[in-house]
Structure 1
Amino acid sequence: MDAQYTIVIADDHPLFRNALFQSVHLAISGANLLEADSLDSLLTLLDKEPDVDLLLLDLKMPGANGMSGLIQLRNQYPDLPIVVISASEEPSVIRQVRSHGAFGFIPKSSDMRALIGALNQVLDGEPVFPEGLGEDSDDVSDLTDRIAALTPQQYKVLCMLSDGLLNKQIAYELNVSEATIKAHMTAIFRKLGVKNRTQAVILLQQLDLAP
């Protein structure tokens, strides 16, 4: 495959990122490969690079919060093909990845040949998921829709809330007034269909991967 593709590898483990880098080069000659090691650095990169053809995303990296990172990326970049590459290979995890709008799932345990085959399949426009996953849960789809309804700033506030920060701490981190954060909270609770901070955090934790 000789076409010039721009592919982003988002993973916080340098050794795996390097191995994936080598695999992609073998699969796609002449690919323009970019790297990110956190959700923040990934979002910064995607803002600067509007013509990314494929994102290879690890679910567990700083700022990603399991599935919610994938949902936020789908929300902000609806046309960007995202393939999750993860060590969490349980069918329930893969079903969630699929229901949250990923274009594919490649287990980190895949050998080089399987990885190269999957990458070529994705770039040919064919989704790639392990067989026999069954149907996605309606509850998962509903939760996805609610999280996806948040603006990027509201999502960031929710993640900080999940980290245990107080309103005034969140306001300081985002360089806005405490009144602005309270307004965000009201909107977040309404969109998520919850009544308080605790319920909002529990909802977000439902999207986290099991350890």
Structure 2
Amino acid sequence: MIAMTASAQSDIGGHSDEAAPLAGGQALRLLIVDDHPLFREALASAIALAFPEAVLHEADGIGTACEILGRNPAIDLTLLDLSMQGVTGFEGLTAIRTRFPRVPILIVSGVTDPRIMHEAVRHGAAGFVPKAVDKATLTRAISEVLGGALFMPPDLAAAPAPVRGGDKAPIAERVARLTPQQMRVLGMIRQGKLNKQIAYELQVGDSTVKAHVSEILRKLEVISRTQIVIETAYVDFDQAGGGF
């Protein structure tokens, strides 16, 4: 269990001005998103012991987290609880991944169901850590995710992923179903642009962009913008006919 010791400072309070160095001399900056103050304090304390020079930011909800990420583009990793007030399922994970697709998210959750862990990864999480893990496992999870790896606890990762109904065509084939305008919208979604930004660049109305996004989701057989980004990450768009 992550022990409760002295807390780090926060955006809901303030923080250390220095950060632990990453490779290349860059500073380590982490965001903790959890609506339980005592657990935020415990998690911040555990992280401070492992990364004593790290700058820690804290948020008690998804809205606050997005504000902090918007103000601090140098944040290296978000640690997110799935179960918070006002959030259902993977809504919080999807909201952050859609707006800030370049910031990896490590789920730190009280849930230990392997099906939830696998689904969180499908929705864009870079790792999953139960709240009951020890500090060494938490430290390893943070280090591996920061290094670009996907972290899952061995006992949960060994469980089979849930079987999903229906076989999808390869992603390149699904991308090839898109019209030229939908391909342009897809390219902007992959760049993290919002509907209003897409509408401005294409000189079309918001409703037109929404219609394109809905068709893209349908044709790619996904349910969120985050899944669009994840599933198309390695597509050769020149070959698929999208040359953007």
User: Given the two structures, how large is their TM-score scaled by the length of structure 1?
Assistant: 0.65
Q: Which of the residues 107, 111, 119 maps onto 1:96?
A: 119
Q: Which of the residues 140, 144, 147 maps onto 1:117?
A: 140
Residue 125 of structure 1 deviates from its aligned partner by 2.6
Q: Which of the residues 13, 26, 40 maps onto 1:17?
A: 40
SS of the counterpart of 1:7?
strand
Residue 137 of structure 1 deviates from its aligned partner by 4.8
Residue 74 of structure 1 deviates from its aligned partner by 1.3
Map of 2:149 onto structure 1? 126
Residue 190 of structure 1 deviates from its aligned partner by 6.4
Structure having the higher helix fraction is 1
Residue 17 of structure 1 deviates from its aligned partner by 0.3
Residue 15 of structure 1 deviates from its aligned partner by 0.5
Map of 2:66 onto structure 1? 43
Q: Distance in 2 between matches of 1:137 and 1:71?
A: 21
The reply to whether residue 56 of structure 1 matches residue 82 of structure 2 is no
User: Given the two structures, how large is their TM-score scaled by the length of structure 2?
Assistant: 0.57
Assess, with a 3 A threshold, how the Cα gap between structure 1 residues 47 and 93 changes in structure 2: closer, same or farther. same
Give matches, 1:1-211, under 5 Å: 2-3=20-21, 4-130=27-153, 131-135=157-161, 137-138=163-164, 187=211
Residue 122 of structure 1 deviates from its aligned partner by 2.2
Q: In the alignment, is the contact (CA less than 8 A) between 1:8 and 1:35 conserved in 2?
A: yes
Q: Distance in 1 between matches of 2:106 and 2:115?
A: 16
Q: In the alignment, is the contact (CA less than 8 A) between 2:114 and 2:161 conserved in 1?
A: no
Q: Which moved more, 1:30-39 or 1:126-135?
A: 126-135
Q: Distance in 1 between matches of 2:70 and 2:44?
A: 21
SS of the counterpart of 1:56?
strand
Q: Distance in 2 between matches of 1:191 and 1:67?
A: 20
Residue 189 of structure 1 deviates from its aligned partner by 7.2
User: In the alignment, residue 101 of structure 1 is paired with which amino acid?
Assistant: G
Residue 78 of structure 1 deviates from its aligned partner by 1.2
Residue 123 of structure 1 deviates from its aligned partner by 2.4
User: Which structure's relative contact order is higher, taking Cα pairs within 8 Å and 6+ residues apart?
Assistant: 1
Assess, with a 3 A threshold, how the Cα gap between structure 1 residues 6 and 59 changes in structure 2: closer, same or farther. same
> After superposition, what is the alpha-carbon deviation per residue over 1:87-136, rounded to whole angstroms, capped at 9, x for unaligned?
11101100101111111000011122221222222223322112214346
- Kindly name which structure, 1 or 2, has the bigger radius of gyration based on alpha carbons: 2
After superposition, the CA RMSD in angstroms is 3.4
